[in-house]
Each structure stands twice: as C-alpha cells, then as structure tokens.
Structure 1
Amino acid sequence: MTFFPSLYRYQDEGLLIIRVGIGIMFLLHGWPKMMGGPEVWANVGSAVETVGITGGFTFFGFMAAFAETVGGLFIALGLFFRFSNFLLFATMVVATMKHVMANDGFNAYSHALEAAYLFIGLFFIGPGRYSLDYLWFDRAPVEEGDWE
C-alpha cells in the first residue's frame, strides 16, 4: 500500500526537478574550476594519482571542470543525458577516492560519494519525458520486449 498512489503519474516532473536542480548546482560548482585556468586544472587533475595516473594533470583537471560545468548544463537540459551522467559519475568516484586515500574523513568525501550514487542512478533511469533527449532523439523508455 502506498500513501500517495496518485503521484506515480508525476515521475517525469520529479525527474525534471532533480535534473534541473542538480544540473544547475554542478554547473555553478564547476564554473570556477573551468575559469581557473591551467593552474587550477592541474591541481584538480592531480586527483587521478589515486588511480595510478602520474601525468596529464592539467588535461584531467580540465576534463573534470568540463564534466561539472557542461555536464551540469546538459543534465539540466536533459541533453546527452546518460553520457553526461557517466562523466560526472567517474569524476565523483575519483574525487571520493582522493579524499578516502588521503584519510580526509567522511565529511570531506560524503558530497562526492552522494553525487556518484545520484549520477549512476540517473544514468539508469534516464532523463524523462521533459528533456531535449526525449524531444530530439525520441529516447522514450524502452518497453520490456522491445529490444528482442
């Protein structure tokens, strides 16, 4: 038994609220990194050392800033949604690992870990009906048996 059975029909509206809210927050979170230039990118990108990568920090930092800024915008719009969620998921996993390996404590990595769970969940759910992916690419949910 559910307390709000009539709310099931508003799942696309719920996805829209989550997408726009999280997308804008990550756009704003990534924008200062994006505008920080090579010095900031190298600092951010040094987090890849935790996965054994020992060079290219400026490139990886730029990619993290790009994923947060442009990925956040694309998530809000529901454009290239799954790809953007995958990039942000990977970025948040690396950020989490960086803090865990540095013994920074739970409060230092909890935001990145929460965001990683959110992005992987959204990856599987999809952008919903109120998205540019749905409008432009007809990425309606696949019904069971459609792929057989």
Structure 2
Amino acid sequence: MNMRWRFLDRWHDAGLLILRVGVGAAFVGIHGYPLLSEGRVGWLRVGAAVKSFGLNDGYVWWGIAAMISMLLGGGCLILGLCQRPASLTLFSTMFVAAYWRFQTSSLDAAAYPAVMAVVCLSLFILGPGKNALDKV
C-alpha cells in the first residue's frame, strides 16, 4: 500500500461509524418512517414485492415486516447495537426489493436497493467497529 495513505488505517472504526450512521439514518428517515406514515396502503404496496418469490398472500404483513426491519434495523445501525443481526435483516429486505424492482421495472430501478443490500452485507461481515454500544 502506498505510504501516503497509510495514516488513514487508524481511522477504520471512524469510517465504520460514519457508514453505519449514514446508512441507518437513510433506512429510518427515508424508508422506514415514510412507510409508517403511509399506513396500510404503503404496507400493501411494499409487501407485494414477495410476489416475485411466489408468495401470493399476506402482503400487508410483509410490508409491516419490511417497515419494522427498516425502522429498527436502521436504529440499530446508528447505535451499533445488535448491528450484525440488523444488517442481515436489512440485507434480506433490500435483496427482496432489488429482485422485485428488477422483475417489475428495470435494472436501473433495482440499482439503489441492490447497492443498499451490498452495503448491508458488507456491514454484516465487517461488524460494528469500536464505536458501538455493543462495545461499551
């Protein structure tokens, strides 16, 4: 590795904190809370994504599960509390969303949920870092 960038190695945990807080805030504020505000209509719309996997019932419940995943999972990412289970749950939610978007729309529409799925899988593998409530 180039010595010029070596000084950044000590900031690994700060980088994880920034990533966790940013992604967690996006899940809570951009995805979870608006879905909570939409109520049954939003839950039905989001829950219908499971059609892509051959499930033809319970769309409202699947939508509620996705909403809870985004609200609680995002909050856990922000705090660094139960971060690995939260990351895995968010990964599965975003995987379903990406697959659904790819099936019903286009590769372009699937790009954002696919990237979020990759980020969540990476956070699952990397762990929360030192700046987390799990480490206190």
How far residue 45 of structure 1 moved from its aligned partner, in angstroms, is 0.2
How far residue 68 of structure 1 moved from its aligned partner, in angstroms, is 1.1
Structure 1 moving runs of 4+ over 4 Å:
none
Q: 1:121 maps to which residue?
A: 122
Identical aligned residues as a percent: 34
How far residue 38 of structure 1 moved from its aligned partner, in angstroms, is 1.8
Find the aligned partners of 2:43 and 2:33 in 1 and give their Cα distance: 12
- 2:47 pairs, out of 45, 48, 72, with 45
Q: 1:88 maps to which residue?
A: 90
Q: 1:12 maps to which residue?
A: 13
- Structure exhibiting the larger radius of gyration computed from Cα positions: 1
How far residue 42 of structure 1 moved from its aligned partner, in angstroms, is 1.3
How far residue 35 of structure 1 moved from its aligned partner, in angstroms, is 2.2
Letter in 2 for 1:21: G
How far residue 10 of structure 1 moved from its aligned partner, in angstroms, is 0.9
Q: 2:107 maps to which residue?
A: 106
Letter in 1 for 2:50: V
How far residue 101 of structure 1 moved from its aligned partner, in angstroms, is 1.1
Q: 2:73 maps to which residue?
A: 71
**Structure 2 stretches of 5 or more lacking a match?**
none
Aligned length: 134
How far residue 72 of structure 1 moved from its aligned partner, in angstroms, is 0.8
Q: 2:134 maps to which residue?
A: 133
Find the aligned partners of 2:52 and 2:135 in 1 and give their Cα distance: 37
Deviations 1:43-99 (A, max 9, x none): 110101111111111111011111112211110111110111111100111111111
Find the aligned partners of 2:85 and 2:53 in 1 and give their Cα distance: 21
> What value does the CA root-mean-square deviation take over the aligned residues?
1.0
**Structure 1 stretches of 5 or more lacking a match?**
136-148
Query: 2:65 aligns to what SS in structure 1?
Result: helix
Deviations 1:82-132 (A, max 9, x none): 111111100111111111111x22221100000000000100100000001
Letter in 1 for 2:14: E
Find the aligned partners of 1:37 and 1:99 in 2 and give their Cα distance: 21
Q: Which has the higher contact order (CA 8 A, sep 6+)?
A: 2
